[in-house]
Amino acid sequence: MKRIINTTNAPAAIGPYSQAVEANGTLYISGQLPINPKVGKIEATEIAMQTEQSFSNIAAILAEAGYTFADVVKSTVFLSDISNFAGMNEVYKKYYQSECPARSAFAVKDLPLGALVEIETIAVK
Whether the predicted pLDDT of 1 surpasses 90 = no
SS (H, E, C) 55-120: HHHHHHHHHHHCCCHHHEEEEEEEECCHHHHHHHHHHHHHHCCCCCCEEEEEECCCCHHHCCEEEE
| pLDDT average, residue stretch 95-107 | 96
Sequence-separated (6 or more) residues with CB below 8 Å from residue 15: none
Q: Tell me what the mean pLDDT of segment 108-122 comes to.
A: 97
Q: Indicate if the pLDDT at residue 14 is higher than 90.
A: no
Is the separation of the CB atoms in 84 and 77 below 8 Å?
Answer: no
- The CATH number linked to 90 is 3.30.1330.40
CB 20 within 8 A of CB 9: no
Q: Between 84 and 98, where is the model more confident?
A: 84
| Structural domain span for residue 87 | 2-124
pLDDT tens figures, 26-37: 999 999 999 999
Q: How many domains does the chain have?
A: 1
